[in-house]
Amino acid sequence: MTKIAIVTGGTRGIGASISKKLKSSNFKVIANYTSNDDAAESFSKENNIEVIKWDVSNYDQCQKSVNKIYEDNKHIDILVNNAGITRDAPLHKMSKDNWQKVIDVNLNSIFNMTSLVINKMRENSFGRIVHISSVNGQKGQFGQTNYAATKSALIGFSKSLALESASKGITSNVICPGYINTEMVAAIREDILKSIIETIPSQRLGEADEVAEMVDYLVSDKASYVNGSTFSINGGLWMD
């Protein structure tokens, strides 16, 4: 039976690499996206991956989409919580709107999506859940109290979920990427990006495919005894 995988934020950046890698491993992948219909349609056609648009920060939209996926596929076996945004500013300059938006998209979406699949995973005695956090959730970052708070919270969420669901054949793990060569990182001012790379022991940006490889392992049968763990992919930038 083909396993069904949902990847949130699955049509761009790290999410796109995850979606493509899981498809190459013979999972049926459903890639979620929130905006840029043209880019999502192109991604779908180029990779033969189903894409569905919904806002992961909106519980009702998540419920509607997840219910439709169950209706069409009968089961959901893998959830990769990858969607995330930044709205950077030092706390003394941060607006409430920018605080709340990051909390809603990066953290509340984790509850929305995971709570909607966990019961059937428990019934089926199988599930693989992977949360994409960040090195800045481990070490903090200037101007990212909102982002770092959400990415740090994913670690506690995942460990608690692992304790609750391990006996039902469900694993919950976290990956904390460092600076990965994506559009988001490419948008950083050149001189600032150069100074960041100089602080990375590997002296380079990571590649999205390197994160995708770890996801592919964690959702495989080979990783059934890996649970409640946090994996850093950051070139040695932060060692914890």
* Residues with Cβ within 8 Å of residue 209, at least 6 apart in sequence: 17, 21
Structure tokens at 205: 């940006």
What span, in angstroms and rounded, lies between the C-alpha atoms of 196 and 52?
35
- Crossing angle of the two packed helices 13-24 and 37-47, in degrees rounded to 10: 20
List Cα–Cα distances, 74 to 62, 93, 120, 124, 197, in angstroms: 17, 47, 10, 11, 45
Sole residue written with tokens 């043209």? 38
Q: Which of 160, 167, 56, 151 is nearest to 113 (CA)?
A: 56
For residue 180, the one-letter residue type is: I
52 neighbors 76 (Cβ within 8 angstroms):
no
60 neighbors 113 (Cβ within 8 angstroms):
no
Structure tokens at 226: 């890996």
> Which positions are annotated as active-site residues?
147
What span, in angstroms and rounded, lies between the C-alpha atoms of 231 and 30?
24
